[in-house]
Copies of this chain bind each other. A is one copy, B any other.
Amino acid sequence: MTDGTIPTQGFYSFNPRTGQRGTTAFTNATAADIDAAVQAAQIAFAAMRQYPAAKLAALLDAVADEIEALGDALLTTADAETGLGLPRLTGERGRTTGQLRKFAALLREGSYVEAIIDTAQPDRQPAPRPSIRRMLVPIGPVAVFAASNFPLAFSVAGGDTASALAAGCPVVLKAHPGHPATSELTAQAIHRAVQAQGFPAGVFSLIQGDQAEVGQALVKHPGITAVGFTGSLRAGRAIYDTAAARPVPIPVYAEMGSVNPVVILPGAMAACSDSLAEGLAASVTLGTGQFCTNPGLVFVVDSDSTRRFIETVTAKMQAAQPGVLLNPQIQRGLVQAVAGTLNRPCVTVLTGGAALDGPACGYAHTVLLTDSATFRDDEQLQAEHFGPVTLFVTCASLDDLRATLETLHGNLTATVHADDSERDEAAAVYAILREKAGRLIWNGFPTGVEVVYAMQHGGPYPATTAPATTSVGMTAIKRFMRPVAYQNMPDALLPDALKDANPLDIWRIVDERLTKEGIPG
């Protein structure tokens, strides 16, 4: 790795409401900075890998406390850098501290290490069976790439950081250049918690940069053992490709967005199209459409009421006050993406389709329309428009609808609206959608991702590069752990989770039976 590959110019915050840039210059990390951060992470890991879960839990709680102690400064800084507004950012801060504390609770309960024990059978013929005891251990130093659209909850102390630290892995965090000051503030909170809890400093490092080479150098570093990423398909795939081409390839958990198909069956359309139109328009425009779960595709069966419904959604989106986009890059990307879609044959724009004038980063609420045959033949129409944009796809019949859904790429979510008489039709549609998405929603909207144990925020490519994992919810911790089995190990040398007496009082599978009981010595 040479310094030569990373440009050294500085970059600035940008206020998307005013179009003004901030006054503090941030500099791209050098290769030496990155190397120092990863080496510190490796040193930290050598200590941390022996830490009990309770010590990791204390760190997570302390990070949450320190974030709260930042007070309004964190929110106003984030607001100035993202234009997301204080109410949303207040909620997002609660989500961020909430998930840190929820991981701490998971650690204190302790069963997340998935202990499995098969006891010895000394009398087995033709040879004795050894004792085999298996549990999950942390994978090692993790590189995390922060997202632009959640400056707190998917950023410096967001879900990837929380789950990696919970797993016992040090984190080298590549901040998003859209909110560098917010990132610095949050990192300082983490550093304070790290120091107060007596962790090695290398457990967390912040890397700034607005050049792709910074992230590439981080992913290539031989000390990194896994990558968490939230962002665009282009950037996520580039990181995945780099990681796969390493001499030692490593897993990349990239959550790269999604078009989140919403299917409205005819009965639901007839029964409640007004509240449905209201809900859909609100979901498309929520947060200026800048959610990975934004409903970007709506599949409907053509009819008079469907046409009225599309008109109603269009009118509601037209009437609603446009929000501010995060930054000029997002705005440029959206202009390009919508223009690209409108260049395809048989796609029409019902409202919007252009950036808004003025100093703020804005884009008109946009409704696009195409038909199922066009959609099936043109996979470009599955490209994400990251912003307040949705594309209606009208189908001729339920058969046509199902055939069209079969052509969908991977998504984070898929939603069906149906009335109670349409359960069989809904089941047939869900049977298709289950293979296309990580979360299936009934009569709701995909925006809003609960941080709960059961959440699955992931899905087949291109939604993610790792469909068997989630980036939200408590099972996100599994991404940063690997199993180790101990064979015939004396009790004293076993980790507590695997000792005969079960001193952690956790659930374990012992001789094929789930139990908290100890094993007679």
Return the contact of A132 from the options B241, B443, B450, B465 (Cβ within 8 A): B450
Given contacts A49-B435, A455-B132, A487-B441, contact A461 B117 (CB under 8 A): no
A440 and B244 within 8 A (CB): no
Please give, as numbers and ranges, the residues of chain B lying within 8 Å of A117 by CB-CB distance: 454
Please give, as numbers and ranges, the residues of chain B lying within 8 Å of A279 by CB-CB distance: none
CA distance A208 to B430 in the complex (A): 36
B452 and A118 within 8 A (CB): yes
B439 and A484 within 8 A (CB): yes
| A461-502 interface (Cβ within 8 A of B) | 461-462, 465-468, 470, 473, 475, 478-479, 481-490, 492-493
B139 and A487 within 8 A (CB): no
Please give, as numbers and ranges, the residues of chain B lying within 8 Å of A116 by CB-CB distance: 453-454, 475
Question: Residue on B with the closest CB to A111?
Answer: B514
Question: Residue on B with the closest CB to A481?
Answer: B468
| A241-269 interface (Cβ within 8 A of B) | 241, 244-245, 248-249, 251
What is the copy number of this chain in the assembly? 2
Q: Cβ of A133 < 8 Å from any Cβ of B?
A: yes
Please give, as numbers and ranges, the residues of chain B lying within 8 Å of A442 by CB-CB distance: 486-490, 493
A483 and B456 within 8 A (CB): yes
Q: Cβ of A140 < 8 Å from any Cβ of B?
A: yes
A468 and B134 within 8 A (CB): no
Closest Cβ of chain B to A508, distance in Å, is 10
Q: Cβ of A4 < 8 Å from any Cβ of B?
A: no
Q: Cβ of A103 < 8 Å from any Cβ of B?
A: no
Q: Cβ of A234 < 8 Å from any Cβ of B?
A: no
Please give, as numbers and ranges, the residues of chain B lying within 8 Å of A111 by CB-CB distance: 514
B483 and A468 within 8 A (CB): yes
Closest Cβ of chain B to A257, distance in Å, is 15
Please give, as numbers and ranges, the residues of chain B lying within 8 Å of A465 by CB-CB distance: 249
CA distance A431 to B443 in the complex (A): 51
B438 and A468 within 8 A (CB): no
Given contacts A430-B493, A468-B481, contact A444 B488 (CB under 8 A): yes
Q: Cβ of A458 < 8 Å from any Cβ of B?
A: yes
A118 and B450 within 8 A (CB): yes
CA distance A133 to B441 in the complex (A): 11
Q: Cβ of A332 < 8 Å from any Cβ of B?
A: no
Return the contact of A244 from the options B241, B426, B493 (Cβ within 8 A): B241
Please give, as numbers and ranges, the residues of chain B lying within 8 Å of A336 by CB-CB distance: none
Q: Cβ of A427 < 8 Å from any Cβ of B?
A: yes
Question: Residue on B with the closest CB to A247?
Answer: B461
Question: Residue on B with the closest CB to A452?
Answer: B118
Given contacts A132-B452, A454-B118, contact A438 B492 (CB under 8 A): no
| A77-121 interface (Cβ within 8 A of B) | 105, 109, 111, 116-118
CA distance A129 to B410 in the complex (A): 26
Closest Cβ of chain B to A378, distance in Å, is 16
Question: Residue on B with the closest CB to A441?
Answer: B487
CA distance A256 to B475 in the complex (A): 28
Please give, as numbers and ranges, the residues of chain B lying within 8 Å of A118 by CB-CB distance: 450, 452-455
Scoring A residues 295 to 328 as 1 if CB is less than 8 Å from chain B, else 0, what string do you get? Answer: 0000000000000000000000000000000000
Please give, as numbers and ranges, the residues of chain B lying within 8 Å of A489 by CB-CB distance: 440, 442
A441 and B249 within 8 A (CB): no
Closest Cβ of chain B to A255, distance in Å, is 14
Please give, as numbers and ranges, the residues of chain B lying within 8 Å of A50 by CB-CB distance: 431
Q: Cβ of A363 < 8 Å from any Cβ of B?
A: no
Closest Cβ of chain B to A220, distance in Å, is 15
CA distance A514 to B437 in the complex (A): 26
B453 and A482 within 8 A (CB): no
A244 and B251 within 8 A (CB): no
Please give, as numbers and ranges, the residues of chain B lying within 8 Å of A462 by CB-CB distance: 248
Question: Residue on B with the closest CB to A105?
Answer: B512
Please give, as numbers and ranges, the residues of chain B lying within 8 Å of A347 by CB-CB distance: none
CA distance A464 to B326 in the complex (A): 41
Most central of A240, A249, A426, A514 by chain B CB within 10 Å: A249
Please give, as numbers and ranges, the residues of chain B lying within 8 Å of A444 by CB-CB distance: 130, 487-488
User: Which 7 pairs show the lowest CB-CB distances between chains A and B?
Assistant: A456-B485, A244-B244, A118-B452, A134-B454, A116-B454, A132-B454, A441-B487
15 CB < 8 A contacts A-B: A116-B454, A118-B452, A133-B454, A139-B467, A248-B461, A423-B493, A426-B493, A427-B493, A439-B486, A442-B486, A455-B485, A456-B485, A458-B483, A460-B482, A468-B483
